[in-house]
């Protein structure tokens, strides 16, 4: 499949070129000869047009009954199911993860479309008794307006769905700027919504780069809510710019996720889990396992096993069914990961396998790096503290659970954490004491399901959670309503 598609911005239900006429190209990260798509290199004028369309559409969309809004999402879910194979192919080709993982990305969006769609019939508020007689009171969710979304390339359909679908069911309208490395999946998601009956202007897509297209969206006065997933560096900027206009800003940023292995663990299970969570998606998940914290007595065996598995992983073009790990997303990411590998060596960690760009044959056309394992890593090394976002695992030895916990928690991030143990007391202590938004027991750090809250503590976020029962919170305002049917002035807190 070598077709090159040209994508225009999607504004008010129409495909329009950028006002400057500028475009940019996206090439397959597994094969740079494959031109995947040409996209609009948008600027402030394009963002203005998209926001104006979203603002106009909001006046009617907010009044569509929530169950009807949900119905559109449920129909979109069916279309996603029918097109899963095609959309997986598009996703692999644009960002590199193997087809079976791309399918998971679509499945996550299907789950979210079903979950958010059915929320149209719930969206519960609370009613409470009043302090006063003949008075009724309740609270309800209300939409907010135009939501600005900036999404990453690593889960290009799933993360767009986590943001867009709850926002829509609440009655908001959307302007989304997808990650420039993987915009097609957003078009695919929106195509399903439009075919399912989403009116023009309710979702608008503006493609391009952060400084030229993202920043005008963040700073637009008609966009009261911003939802961002990406790096800490950019997230901080979004937060600062949003704060100047007292915007509501939901941030989902990095991780340095630990997986603790106690010496009573099922090592076969650990081995499989670590390889999946450290090298799956080429380590490019915010939830990826990047630190393996192992009790000293089993550390040597554990390292041997993981190194053997890492060496055996089949790295290749994600479109080939045999590939277990795809390329990194782009050249800059490749440089970054290789830079961290050099840093690990210079910091005194022992490189046990990998450590280099893969070359020769088809590898020369993509951004392939070997699955890499360091042992002898200490908690103060930068490779043990900073997010690498690549297939690089640091193994750290500890004496006991208390030390494991201290090491696990001693980083700036707190997204996902895991422990393997058969001891129920240790498992419960970990559950309570790991500083993370997501904790796994006897399962690796990846694989969150959409019907539980997703997000992290400390440097990972700013207190919001996507998905789960919390998913409506960012996209709705509470309104409390008091109905006094006594026919008299009843003064709360005064008369009784």
Shortest spacing between CB 297 and ligand UN1, in angstroms: 30
| 286 is a contact residue toward ligand UN1 (CB under 6 A) | yes
Output the CA–CA distances (angstroms, integers) from residue 356 to 178, 317, 383, 420, 490, in the order listed: 30, 17, 16, 30, 75
Among 61, 87, 155, 368, binds ligand UN1 (CB under 6 A): 155
Contact 278, 284 (CB under 8 A): no
| 153 is a contact residue toward ligand UN1 (CB under 6 A) | no
Closer to ligand UN1 by Cβ: residue 216 or 254: 254
Output the CA–CA distances (angstroms, integers) from residue 297 to 14, 124, 424, in the order listed: 63, 51, 20
Closer to ligand UN1 by Cβ: residue 161 or 287: 287
Q: Which stretch binds ligand UN1 (CB under 6 A): 83-91, 128-136, 163-171, 284-292?
A: 284-292
Our answer to whether residue 252 is catalytic in this structure is: yes
Q: How far apart are CA 184 and CA 139, in angstroms?
A: 39
Contact 64, 202 (CB under 8 A): no
Q: How far apart are CA 408 and CA 418, in angstroms?
A: 10
Closer to ligand UN1 by Cβ: residue 13 or 447: 447
Of 61, 350, 50, residue with least CA distance to 198: 61
Catalytic residue among 108, 119, 252, 397: 252
| 168 is a contact residue toward ligand UN1 (CB under 6 A) | no
Alpha helices in 322-481 (DSSP H): 331-346, 401-409, 424-433
Q: How far apart are CA 439 and CA 448, in angstroms?
A: 10
Shortest spacing between CB 445 and ligand UN1, in angstroms: 8
Closer to ligand UN1 by Cβ: residue 198 or 448: 448
Which residues, numbered 88-127, are part of the site for ligand UN1 (CB under 6 A)? 108
In sequence order, the 6+-apart residues with CB closer than 8 A to the CB of 364 are none
Shortest spacing between CB 439 and ligand UN1, in angstroms: 12
Q: Which stretch binds ligand UN1 (CB under 6 A): 61-69, 176-184, 417-425, 442-450?
A: 442-450
Of 208, 178, 180, residue with least CA distance to 190: 178
Closer to ligand UN1 by Cβ: residue 204 or 460: 460
Of 80, 319, 36, 60, residue with least CA distance to 181: 36
Token pair of 456, please? 């992290």
Among 17, 67, 199, 447, binds ligand UN1 (CB under 6 A): 447
Closer to ligand UN1 by Cβ: residue 298 or 448: 448
In the chain, the N- to C-terminal Cα span, in Å, equals 75
Closer to ligand UN1 by Cβ: residue 431 or 492: 431
| 53 is a contact residue toward ligand UN1 (CB under 6 A) | no
Shortest spacing between CB 280 and ligand UN1, in angstroms: 8
Q: Which stretch binds ligand UN1 (CB under 6 A): 6-14, 65-73, 211-219, 282-290?
A: 282-290
Q: How far apart are CA 98 and CA 327, in angstroms?
A: 9
| 154 is a contact residue toward ligand UN1 (CB under 6 A) | yes
Shortest spacing between CB 444 and ligand UN1, in angstroms: 9
Look at residue 222 and give its three-state secondary structure: coil
Token pair of 109, please? 């969006």
Q: In what order do the strands lie in the sheet with 5-6?
A: 5-6, 31-40, 23-28
| 256 is a contact residue toward ligand UN1 (CB under 6 A) | no
| 285 is a contact residue toward ligand UN1 (CB under 6 A) | yes
CB atoms within 10 A of CB 299: 20
Q: Which stretch binds ligand UN1 (CB under 6 A): 172-180, 235-243, 380-388, 440-448?
A: 440-448
Percent helix, percent strand, percent coil in the chain, to nearest 5? 40, 25, 40
Q: Which stretch binds ligand UN1 (CB under 6 A): 41-49, 211-219, 285-293, 353-361?
A: 285-293
The residues of the shown chain that bind ligand UN1, judged by CB under 6 A, are 108, 154-155, 285-287, 446-448
Q: Which residues are catalytic?
A: 252
């Amino acid at each position: 499949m070598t077709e090159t598609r040209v994508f225009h911005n999607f504004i008010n239900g129409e495909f329009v070129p950028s006002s400057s006429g500028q475009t940019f190209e996206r090439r397959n990260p597994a094969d740079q000869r494959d031109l995947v798509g040409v996209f609009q290199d948008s600027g402030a004028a394009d963002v203005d047009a998209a926001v104006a369309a979203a603002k106009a559409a909001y006046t009617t969309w907010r009044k569509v009954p929530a169950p009807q809004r949900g119905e559109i999402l449920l129909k979109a879910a069916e279309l996603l199911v029918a097109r899963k194979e095609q959309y997986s192919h598009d996703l692999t080709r644009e960002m590199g993860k193997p087809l079976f993982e791309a399918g998971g990305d679509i499945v996550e969006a299907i789950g979210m479309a079903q979950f958010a769609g059915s929320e149209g019939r719930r969206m519960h508020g609370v009613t409470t008794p009043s302090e006063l007689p003949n008075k009724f009171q309740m609270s309800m969710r209300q939409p907010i307006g135009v939501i600005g979304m900036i999404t990453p390339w690593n889960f290009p359909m799933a993360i767009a769905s986590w943001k867009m679908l709850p926002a829509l069911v609440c009655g908001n309208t959307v302007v989304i700027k997808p990650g420039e490395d993987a915009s097609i999946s957003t078009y695919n998601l929106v195509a399903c919504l439009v075919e399912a009956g989403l009116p023009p202007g309710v979702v608008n897509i503006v493609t391009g780069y952060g400084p030229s297209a993202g920043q005008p969206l963040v700073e637009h006065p008609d966009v009261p809510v911003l939802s961002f997933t990406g790096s800490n560096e950019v997230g901080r900027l979004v937060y600062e710019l949003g704060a100047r206009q007292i915007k509501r800003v939901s941030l989902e940023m990095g991780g340095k996720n630990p997986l603790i292995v106690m010496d009573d663990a099922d090592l076969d299970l650990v081995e499989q889990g670590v390889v999946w969570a450290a090298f799956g998606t080429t380590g490019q998940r915010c939830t990826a396992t990047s630190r393996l914290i192992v009790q000293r007595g089993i550390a040597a065996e554990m390292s041997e096993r993981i190194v053997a598995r890492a060496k055996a992983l089949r790295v290749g073009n994600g479109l080939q069914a045999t590939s277990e790990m795809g390329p990194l997303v782009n050249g800059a990411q490749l440089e970054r990961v290789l830079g961290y590998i050099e840093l690990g060596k210079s910091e005194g960690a022992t490189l046990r396998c990998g450590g280099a760009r893969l070359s020769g044959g088809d590898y020369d056309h993509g951004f392939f790096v070997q699955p890499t394992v360091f042992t002898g890593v200490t908690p103060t090394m930068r490779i043990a503290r900073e997010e690498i976002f690549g297939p690089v695992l640091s193994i750290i030895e500890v004496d006991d659970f208390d030390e494991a916990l201290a090491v696990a928690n001693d980083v700036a991030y707190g997204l996902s954490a895991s422990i393997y143990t058969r001891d129920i007391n240790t498992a419960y202590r970990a559950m309570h004491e790991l500083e993370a938004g997501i904790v796994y027991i006897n399962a690796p750090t990846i694989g969150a399901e959409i019907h539980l809250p997703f997000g992290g503590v400390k440097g990972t976020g700013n207190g919001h959670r996507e998905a789960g029962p919390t998913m409506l919170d960012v996209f709705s305002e509470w309104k409390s309503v008091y109905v006094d049917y006594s026919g008299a002035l009843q003064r709360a807190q005064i008369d009784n």
